[in-house]
Amino acid sequence: MTKSVDNTKDGELGILERRTIEAEIIAPIYEEMVAAFGEDAAVGIVDRAIRKAAISSAQSFASREKSGTSLRSFAELQSLWTKDDALVVDILNSTETKFDYDVHRCRYAETYKAMGLAKIGHLLSCNRDAVFCQGYDPRIRLQRTQTIMEGASHCDFRYSMESFPQAERTASSE
């Protein structure tokens, strides 16, 4: 079932629009860092900063879940990423413990390419995914072997809900 989904709350800014605004701000800063510190250092700085921002954002989303986080509540957030036809996805499996889908069109990749940022697009979007789900709920894991951003025909998202004792979950989320 390939589809583009847009069932976000009214007035909620879609992630594609957020990422475009962020990229417009990050691009000149990145270029200055490359000039001052070299490309490897600039990439490292952007990567670390984006990952930290993803964790913080995920924790904010999680704090709004009145009934606690779950893989289902995480999957419901995906409408923010698909808003504005940002992604065309084929949902393969959606249960309490698995959420698997393939992305067949990624406007994030298209947008970064059009902005001249294809080289760092994976830093601006793709590298957020695994740490975002961990920040949202440390029991959620992402396995992905390829992305459109890095030249593949599709992205293969495979989320799973790990099960571990409450004490360990509490310790890992601190």
pLDDT digits (tens, 9 = 90+) for 70-86: 999 999 999 999 999 99
Confidence band of 169 (pLDDT split at 50, 70, 90): very low
State the chain's mean pLDDT as an integer: 90
* Residue 164 confidence (pLDDT): 61
Q: Which of 146, 128, 124, 127 is nearest to 136 (CA)?
A: 128
Whole-structure pTM value: 0.84
Judge whether residue 168 has pLDDT over 80: no
Q: Which parts of the chain fold into alpha helices (H)?
A: 15-37, 39-63, 71-76, 78-82, 107-114, 121, 128-136, 166-172
Judge whether residue 32 has pLDDT over 70: yes
Instruction: Look at the block and give the residue holding tokens 């740490």.
Output: 131
Contact 21, 108 (CB under 8 A): no
* Residue 106 confidence (pLDDT): 98
Q: Which of 140, 141, 106 is nearest to 125 (CA)?
A: 106
Judge whether residue 174 has pLDDT over 50: no
User: Domains in the chain, please, with CATH?
Assistant: 15-161 (3.30.1380)
pLDDT digits (tens, 9 = 90+) for 109-142: 999 999 999 999 999 999 999 999 999 999 999 9
Mean pLDDT of 154-159: 98
Mean pLDDT of 19-46: 97
**More confident site: 152 or 166:** 152
* Residue 12 confidence (pLDDT): 72
**More confident site: 62 or 163:** 62
